[in-house]
Structure 1
Amino acid sequence: MRWYHGYGPMTGGVLLWVVLVSLVAGAALVVALVALRGRRSGSATHVLDERLARGDIDAEEYERVRRALRPS
């Protein structure tokens, strides 16, 4: 009598490896997505600060846009 019902004696081990590799790949994907999201700046004022620091806009433009971004 075959105790493994025709699936082979190593089926359980292979399935375990597939599950483990999937978990590790999923964890790596989550870490990568969190890292990429952390690089994006969600704040308009932060983007405005960066543009001023790079010299893309002058102080007048900075103040004008900053005032426009403030909630009334």
Structure 2
Amino acid sequence: MMGYSMGWMWIWPFLIVFGLLVLGYLALRVTQTRPDGPATTRHPDRSRARRILDERFARGEIDEEEYRRRKGELP
């Protein structure tokens, strides 16, 4: 009787190793798809101000000299 029940005991270490491999794979996938930093920047107004300045320069409302001066004044 003892010989027959020991035949299935090998499956437990296999299942544990397989489960750890699956968990490791899932952890790797989650960390690879996670964004690197916060969704917002430290200075959200800065990017908006820069975008507006770029648009005004592209439309020709300001010349290159004024564009560079104002870009240097942005925080």
TM-score normalised according to structure 2 size: 0.47
Q: Which structure would you say has the larger RCO, counting Cα contacts within 8 Å and 6 or more residues apart?
A: 2
TM-score normalised according to structure 1 size: 0.48
